[in-house]
């Protein structure tokens, strides 16, 4: 189990990066023979990415919904993401999907790609294990310059509510 980090934290990335959200949706629950292979194809792709860091992949988070599986991924660049999509395990899975499912509607797939410029993002994690960007980038306490959303985005302001102090600091 991941270690919970009591308190408030943020993440800092040097340079630009890419956020990639990809997933599938089971449209016809009874079509297990259609959606299970799509789901099972994710494992080899993720293994390939973690084993080949030079591909530009930083990490992923899995999120499950009633009919959906979603992956939140972080990449060094769009070019590296696109190169990966056109080769390796992803290309194999893409071809299989088009052949076995195509446009029959049993399984939906999607992705969204966001190119993030250096400094044009902010995040906060309260009482969380390292998660998302905080797991793939520098993870640091959300104090001082990092205390509020506006400050993390380069501006100035005061907190709307007092920032909780770590319990050890209160003793």
Residue 132 and residue 108 share a domain: no
Residue 132 and residue 111 share a domain: no
Q: For residue range 13-32, what is the model confidence (pLDDT) as tens digits?
A: 999 999 999 999 999 999 99
Residue 106 and residue 65 share a domain: yes
Rounded Cα distance between 110 and 159, Å, is 37
Q: For residue range 60-106, what is the model confidence (pLDDT) as tens digits?
A: 999 999 999 999 999 999 999 999 999 999 999 999 999 999 999 99
pLDDT at 165: 81
Question: Is pTM, for the whole model, over 0.85?
Answer: yes
- For residue 48, what are the contacts with CB-CB under 8 A and spacing of at least 6? 55, 88, 89
Q: How does DSSP classify residue 123? A: -
Percent of the chain scoring above 90 in pLDDT: 92
- For residue 65, what are the contacts with CB-CB under 8 A and spacing of at least 6? none
Residue 122 and residue 105 share a domain: no
Residue 9 and residue 25 share a domain: no
Average pLDDT for the chain: 95
pLDDT at 168: 61
Sign of CA dihedral 97, 102, 105, 106: negative
Q: How confident is the model at residue 144 (pLDDT cuts 50, 70, 90)?
A: very high
Rounded Cα distance between 171 and 32, Å, is 56
Residue 112 and residue 65 share a domain: yes
Provide the domain limits for residue 159.
5-13+118-170
Residue 170 has pLDDT above 60, yes or no: no
Rounded Cα distance between 79 and 104, Å, is 31
């Amino acid at each position: 189990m991941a270690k919970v980090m009591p308190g408030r934290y943020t993440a800092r990335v040097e340079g630009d990066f890419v956020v990639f959200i990809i997933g599938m949706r089971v449209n016809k629950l009874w079509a297990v023979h259609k959606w299970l292979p799509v789901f099972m194809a994710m494992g080899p792709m993720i293994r390939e990415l973690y084993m080949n860091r030079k591909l530009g992949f930083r990490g992923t988070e899995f999120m499950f919904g009633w009919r959906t599986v979603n992956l939140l991924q972080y990449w060094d660049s769009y070019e590296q993401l696109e190169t990966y999509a056109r080769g390796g395990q992803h290309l194999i899975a893409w071809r299989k999907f088009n052949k076995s499912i195509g446009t029959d509607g049993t399984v939906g797939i999607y992705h969204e790609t966001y190119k993030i410029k250096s400094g044009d993002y902010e995040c906060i994690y309260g009482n969380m294990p390292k998660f998302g960007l905080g797991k793939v980038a520098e993870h640091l306490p959300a104090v001082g310059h990092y205390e509020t959303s506006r400050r993390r985005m380069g501006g100035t302001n005061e907190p709307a509510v007092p920032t909780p102090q770590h319990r050890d600091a209160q003793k």
